[in-house]
Structure 1
Amino acid sequence: MKKILTVTPASQATDLALLIARLGIGTLMLTHGIPKLGMLLSADPLPFPSVMGMSASLSLSLAVFAEVICSLFLLAGLATRLSAIPLLFTMAVAFLFIHAADPFGVKEPALLYLLGYLVLLLAGGGKYSLDYLLQTTTRK
Structure 2
Amino acid sequence: MLLLVHGLPKLFNFEHELGLIEDPFGLGARLTLSLAIFAEVFCPIFIAVGLLTRLATLPVLFLLVVSVIWVHPEWSLAEGQFAWLLLIIFSTILVGGSGRLALGTGLSHRWPLLSKL
Q: Common fold, TM-score beyond 0.5?
A: yes
Q: Which amino acid aligns with 1:94?
A: S
Q: Deviations over 1:54-110 (max 9, x none)?
A: 212221111100000101101111000000000011111111122211222121211
Matched, 1:98 2:45: no
SS in 1 for 2:80: helix
Q: Percent identity?
A: 33
Q: Which ranges of structure 2 fall in alignment gaps of 5 or more residues?
A: 113-117
Matched positions, count = 111
Aligned-residue Cα RMSD (Å) equals 1.8
Matched, 1:109 2:95: no
Deviates more, 1:52-61 or 1:75-84: 52-61
Instruction: Specify which structure has the bigger relative contact order, considering alpha-carbon pairs within 8 angstroms and separated by 6 or more residues.
Output: 1
For 1:44-55, what aligned pairs fall within 5 Å after superposition? Answer: 46-55=19-28
Q: Is the 8 A contact 2:18 2:30 kept in 1?
A: no
For 1:22-33, what aligned pairs fall within 5 Å after superposition? Answer: 28-31=1-4, 32-33=6-7
Q: 1:50 to 1:127 in 2, by over 3 A?
A: same
Q: 1:129 to 1:45 in 2, by over 3 A?
A: closer
Q: Is the 8 A contact 1:80 1:125 kept in 2?
A: yes
Aligned to 1:119: 92
SS in 2 for 1:47: coil
> Structure 2: how far apart are the matches of 1:84 and 1:97?
19
> Structure 2: how far apart are the matches of 1:44 and 1:51?
15
Matched, 1:130 2:103: yes
